[in-house]
Amino acid sequence: MTARNSENPDTGPHFKKVLIANRGEIALRVLEALHSLDIPSVAIYHYVDRKSPVVQMADEAVEIVGESPSGAHLDIKQIIAICEQLGVDAVHPCYGFLSENAGFARALEDKGITFIGPSPEVIELMGDKITSREFVASQKVPVPPSITLSAGDPGFMQSVIDLGFPLVVKASAGGGGKGMSIVNSKEELESTLRVASSEAEKYFGDDRVYIERYFPSARHIEVQVLGDGQQVIHLGERECSIQRRFQKIVEESPSPAFSEEQAGEKGVKQRESICQAAVAIASAAHYTSAGTVEFLYTPEGEYFFLEMNTRIQVEHPVTEMVYDVDLVKEQIRIAAGHPMSLTQEAVTPVGHAIECRLCAEDAFNGFMPATGKVLLLKSPSGEGVRFDSGLYQGQEITTAFDPMLAKLVVHAGSRADAIGRMVQALRELVLLGIDTNNEYLTRILEHSAFASGEFDTAFVERYADDLVTRHPDKGLLDALLIAGMLSDRNIQRLEEATPQPYDAIGYWRN
């Protein structure tokens, strides 16, 4: 099977055996790519995940242990020992966990095992937000105005005032929306710096923080890049402004910010400019494998570098659907020393794709994480519908892992059609036994501000009053009550026990 945009068919050896160092939907996604390349696979899993699909379907599966399920997935020594025992010659880290851990990449390299991703040096460069900023600035790509002085330096306070409020304090080793605090005034600054620093130490093992101008009303636009050592190409942008708690919940490609309606003729130029900036950064870093460069895009049409993620991203499917490519397969090819199967001229976007992240939470009540069990799961299907999930019936959903359960991705010829397709798919998805943000996502997709494409990262807050649950009308209410009662096993048992003739004489009334 050759993707529409690839020039060369998949030939040549890749790896003897690849270990998937992750879990859930992304582990299953990577397994699919390995299957399609006929590469033997190894899944690692914590006891709580023993029944998950990736464990059932991988060629081999090994249990990992740790103080917590997440802890087990971060145990470098244990994972490498498993690789050595099983003759694994490559590891795919997916996203999260050890995917951006340069120490892990190096430790694998030392054992002659390939880390499917960029080099440890590039991971370190881009993983440190201060050094990555400096590197990008040296490439003449705009970065947000910031302060590089320390709190104790003279002139610090003046720098802060010159920068202007609101500000954001960011952890240097943070990322993915974590380790950020907004500061609205001089009075808040001192305590915020202190708290941010100690939290950074606690969560990222690095207490360094820096201060940037905060843009309360901007768009988050990122560019997918791919490098193989010979060339670096881009696969367009993704719009990721729909966020809650700095975490993305709806993503799409292409971004409506560059559409003709919003940007007129300039739109095409803006898109080209931001994509080329991403390629310039990745090229200068000699980037190999898949990566994403994230930008802030202001209403005035300016963009600033935010960070670079040196891994496959959660929202990669929207790019895959628009460009008809398999990014994970490309990662594996490139890691095995093959050139990518794409060229910049040949990759052409078609249509529009949207992704919704299904999360275990009570979205209408402060997004409180929810726990429960997957009692029934029926995934939506059909043309242009993709459901990336590692869910299985009977699965216990606990707070052990990230609340994201699955990704629902749709593709259609136009943005309007994609929105319609997504709303239908969200309604078709049946997931019983755990609170999810399904209805909340539907509210977002149905909102006029989403439909118009004119929104920014403040969307969720700005329209909070509109993003509320809907109460059933009387007809639906009766239907719910009756369906519920007739589904009640206690009622069903009594019905079965009641002889027929008595049905008609009001036997039930007390």
Partner 1 sequence: MQPKYRLADRQYVVSPLRRTPNRIIEISDSQSRNRRVSADIRWFDHVHGELSINGVVRQFYAVQDDQTIHLHMDGKVWQLEAVDAFSDAAGVSGQAQSGQVKAPMPGVVLEITVREGDLVEEGQVLMLIESMKLQMEVKAGRAGVVQSLGVESAGASFDKGAVLANIQSAERQEPANREAVS
Please give the positions annotated as active site: 311
User: Of 339 and 433, which has the nearer Cβ to partner 1?
Assistant: 433
Q: Please name which of 296, 321, 326, 331 lies closest in space to residue 14, comparing C-alpha atoms.
A: 331
Binding of residue 366 to partner 1 (CB under 8 A): no
Q: Exposure string (b/e) for 289-324, b if CB count within 10 Å is 16 or more?
A: bbbbbbbbbeeeeebbbbbbbbbbbbbbbbbbbbbb
Least distance to partner 1 from the beta carbon of 394, Å?
A: 11
Q: Could you tell me where the DSSP H helices lie in 326-394?
A: 327-335
Where is 397: in which H helix or E strand?
A: strand 396-397
Q: Establish how many alpha carbons lie within 13 A of residue 141's alpha carbon, considering only the half-sphere containing its beta carbon.
A: 28
User: Of 121 and 478, which has the nearer Cβ to partner 1?
Assistant: 478
User: Of 153 and 503, which has the nearer Cβ to partner 1?
Assistant: 503
User: Of 161 and 480, which has the nearer Cβ to partner 1?
Assistant: 480
How big is the site for partner 1, counted in residues (CB under 8 A)? 43
Cβ atoms of residues 170 and 133 within 8 Å = no
C-alpha 439, offset from chain centre: 20
Separation between Cα atoms, residue 325 and residue 310, nearest integer Å: 19
Strand order in the sheet with 209-213: 146-147, 209-213, 167-175, 178-183
Least distance to partner 1 from the beta carbon of 382, Å?
A: 15
Q: Please name which of 398, 436, 405 lies closest in space to residue 48, comparing C-alpha atoms.
A: 398
User: Of 201 and 439, which has the nearer Cβ to partner 1?
Assistant: 439
Least distance to partner 1 from the beta carbon of 469, Å?
A: 9
Binding of residue 368 to partner 1 (CB under 8 A): no
C-alpha 348, offset from chain centre: 23
Binding of residue 161 to partner 1 (CB under 8 A): no
User: Of 458 and 476, which has the nearer Cβ to partner 1?
Assistant: 476
> What SS3 class is residue 371?
coil
Binding of residue 503 to partner 1 (CB under 8 A): yes
Binding of residue 486 to partner 1 (CB under 8 A): yes
What string marks each residue from 371 to 400 as x (binds partner 1 by CB under 8 A) or -? --x-xx-x----------------------
> What SS3 class is residue 274?
helix
User: In angstroms, what CA-CA distances link 502 with 482, 499, 506, 507, 509?
Assistant: 21, 6, 7, 6, 12
- Touching partner 1, residues 408-427 (CB under 8 A): 426-427
- In sequence order, the 6+-apart residues with CB closer than 8 A to the CB of 501 are none
Q: Please name which of 312, 322, 402, 314 lies closest in space to residue 354, comparing C-alpha atoms.
A: 322
Stretch that binds partner 1, among 115-123, 190-198, 237-245, 493-501 (CB under 8 A): 493-501
Stretch that binds partner 1, among 122-130, 226-234, 320-328, 502-510 (CB under 8 A): 502-510
Binding of residue 497 to partner 1 (CB under 8 A): no
Cβ atoms of residues 315 and 322 within 8 Å = no
Binding of residue 476 to partner 1 (CB under 8 A): yes
At 246, list the tokens: 């700095």
Stretch that binds partner 1, among 61-69, 198-206, 254-262, 369-377 (CB under 8 A): 369-377
Binding of residue 509 to partner 1 (CB under 8 A): yes
User: Of 40 and 433, which has the nearer Cβ to partner 1?
Assistant: 433
Q: Residue from 71, 87, 382, 472 that binds partner 1 (CB under 8 A)?
A: 472
Cβ atoms of residues 76 and 120 within 8 Å = no
What string marks each residue from 436 to 455 as x (binds partner 1 by CB under 8 A) or -? x-xx--x-------------
Stretch that binds partner 1, among 118-126, 151-159, 208-216, 434-442 (CB under 8 A): 434-442
Cβ atoms of residues 78 and 116 within 8 Å = no
Binding of residue 484 to partner 1 (CB under 8 A): yes
Least distance to partner 1 from the beta carbon of 477, Å?
A: 7
User: Of 362 and 454, which has the nearer Cβ to partner 1?
Assistant: 362
- Rounded to 5°, angle at Cα 456 from 452 and 458: 120
User: In angstroms, what CA-CA distances link 267 with 261, 272, 310, 438, 448?
Assistant: 9, 9, 27, 32, 22
- Touching partner 1, residues 171-200 (CB under 8 A): none
User: Of 4 and 378, which has the nearer Cβ to partner 1?
Assistant: 378
Amino acid at 148: T
Stretch that binds partner 1, among 38-46, 96-104, 332-340, 486-494 (CB under 8 A): 486-494
Least distance to partner 1 from the beta carbon of 503, Å?
A: 4
Q: Residue from 312, 340, 431, 467 that binds partner 1 (CB under 8 A)?
A: 431
One-character DSSP codes across 109-178: HHTTPEESSS-HHHHHHHHSHHHHHHHHHHTT-----EE-S-TTSTTHHHHHHHH-SSEEEEEEEEETTE
Q: Residue from 137, 164, 479, 493 that binds partner 1 (CB under 8 A)?
A: 479
Stretch that binds partner 1, among 121-129, 146-154, 361-369, 469-477 (CB under 8 A): 469-477
What residues make contact with partner 1 under the rule CB under 8 A? 373, 375-376, 378, 426-428, 430-433, 436, 438-439, 442, 471-472, 475-491, 494-495, 500, 503-504, 506, 508-510
